[in-house]
A and B are shown apart, each in its own frame.
Chain A
Amino acid sequence: MAHNTQRRSAKVLATLAAVSLGLAACGGSDDGGSDDAGGSDSGATKIDCSVYEKFGDLKGKEVSVYTTIVAPEDGPHIASYKPFEDCTGVKIKYEGSREMEAQISVRVKGGNAPDIAYLPQPGLLKTLVATGKVIPAPPETEANVDKNMPDWKTYGTVDGKFYAAPLGANVKSYVWYSPTAFKDKGYEVPKTWDELLTLTDKIATDNPDAKPWCAGIESGDATGWPATDWVEDVMLRTAGPETYDKWVNHEIPFNDPAVATALAEVGKILKNPKYVNGGQGDVKTIASTSFQDAGLPILDGTCFMHRQASFYSANFPEGTKVAEDGDVWAFYLPAKDESSKPVLGAGEVTAAFADRPEVKAFQTYLSSTEWATERAKTCGTGGCLTANVNVDPELLKNPIDNLSAKTLTDKSATFRFDGSDLMPGAVGAGTFWKGMVNWITGQDDKATLDFIENSWPKS
């Protein structure tokens, strides 16, 4: 039954685990927003309905939405459609499946596409656009995107045509740590890459029974992706955003010296038996430790740092306080120096496969600030960050969502989208992962990069 999990679903899983654990970071919040997915009738916000009048009388119409987001995280999503449904009388038919990424292309090619799909990778959008079945976004949606998420528009654009408005977002350039442990040992949060390496070495010397870093890249059939995030994050720091873009677009080969430098830098940490793998064992255990478990040793002190995205917060067990003064918190993965601030992140885009007015209206709603606000308000358990820059970050009660929102809107930050999500599927969801797994289990840098370079689709 189970076939594929990718990073978006990974996030969902993580959240699912959290909810099951009863960890509701913003649950029981004291604002007026509704936490309860089902009972949001009274709490639903009134929005300006006139925006949707131009799409005609939509009463009784249905729009089907297909996503990777499954129970229980789907509840808050469904709740966030309520204002739109109240305005227009359209019924949103929601379907979430962890198999979505593999199934969407089957359904599209088989002529049975949903009206709207949330695509977790821009690379997937490109693939689907190639089938000719994706309908370009209506001008109303495009106007919203220009206003609310101008920097992200490119991720919904294929060959100069705008198709898909960005939706959810997450920030990946985080290092999870225990503020208490840092305080006890007198460690400072590092501000530069060199400070990070110095701290790493210091921790290793100070703590013979622990390791400075823990990592895990096992993720079912998506095994390897956390390591690709490592390389991307470091690539942004050692080579800079411009070279990063060239690399992602294959304007420089995958085995270019710039990439080799970044990989070697990652190797300084991930392949050093003195530095990894806290709580698990030797370097190789990185390959077999699930990404969900990988950061947990921070809690028992066998590991000090874990580089993982904002959505990792949901993996900490019941009762863990995720906050700046709590049991765990995250610091920004430092850049070369404090003058630059590259940020790696990811998110999903919404593609439409039908051009009925109710579908266009819903696309427009999803790209509006009204939706993003509603999403923040009805947020169940965190992970409610959106690409929309016009939402008040303070609406996000989950501390890490809140921090991420500020990171994303920080004017000094340079945002870059997760490179493997932009690369062709055969690389970004295939050989890049596989190459990193082999690299962790012993393959050298050069062989790894050559392997990935050789697999880049020629066309």
Chain B
Amino acid sequence: MSTLQPAATPESVSDEVTPAPKAKKAKRSATGDAASALNSRWASLVAVIIAVLWTTPTVGLLVTSFRSQRDINRDGWWNAFANPGAFTLENYRQALEPGSSASFTQYFVNTIVITIPAVMLPIFLASLAAYAFAWVPFPGRNALFVAVFALQIVPLQIALIPLLDIYTNKLGLGNSYWSVWISHTIFALPLATFLIHNFMRELPGELMEAARVDGAGHVTIFFKILLPLLTPAIAAFGIFQFLWVWNDLLVSLIFIGGTPEVAPITVRVAELAGTRGSAWYLLSAGAFISMIVPVVVFLALQRFFVRGLLAGGLKG
């Protein structure tokens, strides 16, 4: 990434980073290697503490999901390791038991059919719009961008009835996946445009200018220069949107309904989870069934995700 920039010499630091003069003052009390090693030991400790704090709740429920109903209510999950033989898959078996009318596979297919277009469409539209807001001067650009940004606050619940009315009565798209895809797109656009725009703004303007000088139009620039740089950023947003759509219940329920033929997996999980008193044995298994795909996808794409967000920092 640093190839994009002339190598910064120590002298040039003070030119580029405003607080650098202050940093120079710090020279007098420079920390030595020993101090930094100590620091890093403390740093590791704090990092481990945070990691443990962040992981324990999930681990607790995970362990619980493999315990019998009786054990769960008798003592804490931390005692489970004393008797590993008591672990059981029974909770998962019960949670996965097909409902009376549909198998898990069917819900799974529905979720995939909902999710893929609902992730791709906002990426298409938001990257185009973000490009326009970032690099194409047109009248009212700033005002429009602020408006798009501000729309993030509109709770999607207020849009349900008006949108349903439009789909059903104006477009003939009632009870179809189209209405779900378009709704997810609409609700994602403000954040998508905002995030992708921010990444784009950070790209060095000289790139664009150089291309303009060479006679390239906006379409060429968008495809040839921006899109390759932006691909990781788009992937990063794509993961966010994937998680959101995958975990969504409300939008699908409203626009396509909860029948097993069309409803996503969250509908099935909501039947299991939700507020079930201390039916922790089912709740925990249900919760983990719903988590597994997003977590796997997330971990698999994590590298991509981090790189994607890096794209925004090129300017330094």
Residues of A within 8 A of B (CB): 1-3, 5, 13, 16-17, 20-21, 37-38, 70-72, 74-75, 78, 93-99, 103, 106-107, 109-112, 218-221, 290-293, 315, 317
Query: How far does the alpha carbon of A95 sit from the alpha carbon of B266 in the complex, in Å?
Result: 15
B86-120 contact mask (Cβ, 8 Å, vs A): 1 or 0: 00000000100101110000000000000000000
In the complex, A75→B156 CA distance in Å? 33
16 contacts between A and B (CB under 8 A): A5-B274, A13-B275, A17-B277, A21-B69, A38-B100, A75-B101, A78-B100, A94-B101, A95-B258, A95-B259, A99-B253, A107-B164, A110-B163, A111-B165, A111-B168, A290-B277
Q: Does B248 contact A (CB under 8 A)?
A: yes
B267 contacts chain A at the CB level, 8 A cutoff: yes
B301 at the interface (CB under 8 A from A): no
Least distance between A114 CB and chain B CB atoms (Å): 8
Which of B99, B254, B266, B271 has most A Cβ within 10 Å? Answer: B271
Instruction: Tell whether, in the assembled complex, residue B101 and residue A71 are in contact, meaning their CB atoms are under 8 Å apart.
Output: yes
Pair A292/B279 contact, Cβ less than 8 Å? yes
B2 near A: Cβ within 8 Å? no
Q: Given that A1-B248, A95-B259 are known contacts, is A103 also in contact with B253, CB under 8 Å in the complex?
A: yes
Across the A-B interface, the 4 shortest Cβ-Cβ residue pairs: A110-B164, A220-B275, A71-B99, A75-B100
Known: A20-B94, A20-B282. A110 touches B273 (CB 8 A): no
- CB-CB under 8 A from A71, the residues of chain B are 99-101, 268, 271
Mark B144-170 against chain A: 1 for CB-CB distance below 8 A, else 0. 000000000000000011111101110
| Shortest distance from the beta carbon of B142 to any chain A beta carbon, whole Å | 35
Nearest-neighbor residue (CB-CB) of A70 within chain B = B271
Is the beta-carbon distance between A96 and B282 smaller than 8 angstroms? no
Asked whether B100 lies within 8 Å of A37 as measured between CB atoms, the reply is: yes
- Bound CA span A16–B275, Å: 12
Known: A2-B274, A74-B101, A111-B169. A17 touches B258 (CB 8 A): no
Contacts of B270 in A (CB 8 A): 1-2, 98-99
CA distance A103 to B253 in the complex (A): 8
- The verdict on A1 contacting B276 (CB below 8 Å), with A37-B100, A112-B164 known, is no
Interface membership of B294, Cβ < 8 A: no
CA distance A221 to B274 in the complex (A): 10
By a CB distance below 8 angstroms, the chain B residues around A219 are 275
Nearest opposing residue in chain A for B247, CB measure = A1
Main secondary structure of the interface of A (DSSP, over half): mixed
Give every chain B residue within 8 A of A78 (Cβ-Cβ): 100-101
Complex contacts, A106 vs chain B, CB 8 Å: 160-161, 164, 254
Taking CB as reference atom, which chain A residue is nearest B276?
A13
- For A292, the chain B residues whose CB sits under 8 A away are 276-279
A17 touches B276 (CB 8 A): yes
B276 proximity list for chain A (CB < 8 A): 13, 17, 290, 292
| A110 CA to B174 CA, complexed, in Å | 10
| Structural contact, B258 and A97, CB atoms closer than 8 A | yes
Q: A106-B164, A107-B254, A111-B165 are in contact. List 9 more A-B contacts (CB 8 A).
A: A38-B100, A70-B99, A71-B99, A78-B100, A97-B258, A112-B168, A293-B277, A315-B277, A317-B69
Complex CA distance for A290 and B276, rounded to whole angstroms: 8
Contacts of B94 in A (CB 8 A): 20
Inter-chain contacts of B257 with A (CB < 8 A)? 95
* B293 touches A (CB below 8 Å): no
For residue B269, CB closer than 8 A to chain A, the reply is yes
In the bound assembly, the distance between CA atoms of A110 and B257 in angstroms comes to 13
Whole-angstrom distance between the alpha carbons of A94 and B101 in the complex?
Answer: 10
State the CA gap A291–B275 with chains docked (Å): 11
**Across the interface, which residues of B come within 8 angstroms of A98, CB to CB?**
270-271, 274
Decide if A96 touches B164 in the complex (CB within 8 Å).
no
Report the Cα distance A415→B259, complex, angstroms. Answer: 36
Give bound CA distance, A94 to B260, whole Å: 9
Q: How far is the CA of A20 from the CA of B269 in the complex (A)?
A: 14
A117 to nearest B CB, angstroms?
A: 12
Instruction: Given A107-B164, A110-B160, decide whether A2 and B254 contact each other with a Cβ distance below 8 A.
Output: no
A27 to B94, CA, bound (A): 18
CA of A220 to CA of B274, assembled, Å: 8
Shortest distance between the CB of B167 and any CB in chain A (Å):
8
Measured in the bound complex, the distance between the Cα atoms of B254 and A220 in whole Å is: 21
Pick the contact of B168: A13, A37, A38, A110 (CB < 8 A).
A110
CA distance A211 to B266 in the complex (A): 40
Report the bound CA distance from A16 to B282 in whole Å.
11
Q: How far is the CB of B252 from chain A (nearest CB, A)?
A: 10
Contacts of A17 in B (CB 8 A): 276-277, 279, 282
The one of A13, A93, A317 in contact with B259, judged by C-beta atoms closer than 8 angstroms, is A93
Of the candidates A2, A3, A74, the one whose C-beta lies within 8 Å of that of B273 is A2
Say how far B163's CB is from chain A's closest CB, in angstroms.
8
Q: Which residues of A contact B100 (CB under 8 A)?
A: 37-38, 71-72, 74-75, 78
A107 CA to B161 CA, complexed, in Å: 7
Asked if B274 and A97 sit within 8 Å, CB to CB, the answer is no
How far apart are B71's CB and chain A's nearest CB, in angstroms? 13
- Report whether B277 and A109 are in contact in the complex, using a CB–CB cutoff of 8 Å: no
Q: Which of A13, A21, A112 contacts B174 (CB 8 A)?
A: A112
Bound together, the chains give a CA A78 to CA B99 distance in angstroms of: 12
Complex formed: what's the CA distance from A97 to B282 in Å? 18
Residues of B within 8 A of A218 (CB): 277
Is B189 an interface residue when CB atoms closer than 8 A count as contact? no
User: In whole Å, how far is B278's beta carbon from the nearest beta carbon of chain A?
Assistant: 5
Is B136 interfacial (CB-CB < 8 Å)?
no
Pick from B161, B165, B267: contact of A97, CB below 8 A: B267
Residues of A within 8 A of B248 (CB): 1
Cα–Cα distance between A93 and B249 once the two chains are bound (Å): 21
Inter-subunit contact B249/A99 (CB<8 Å): yes
User: Which residues of chain B from 272 to 309 have any CB-CB distance to chain A below 8 Å in the complex?
Assistant: 273-279, 282
Q: Which residues of A are found within 8 Å of B269, using beta-carbon distances?
A: 1
Asked if B250 is an interface residue, CB under 8 A from chain A, the answer is yes
Complex alpha-carbon distance, A74 and B268, angstroms:
13
- With A5-B275, A70-B271, A290-B278 known to touch, is A109 a contact of B161 (CB < 8 Å)? yes
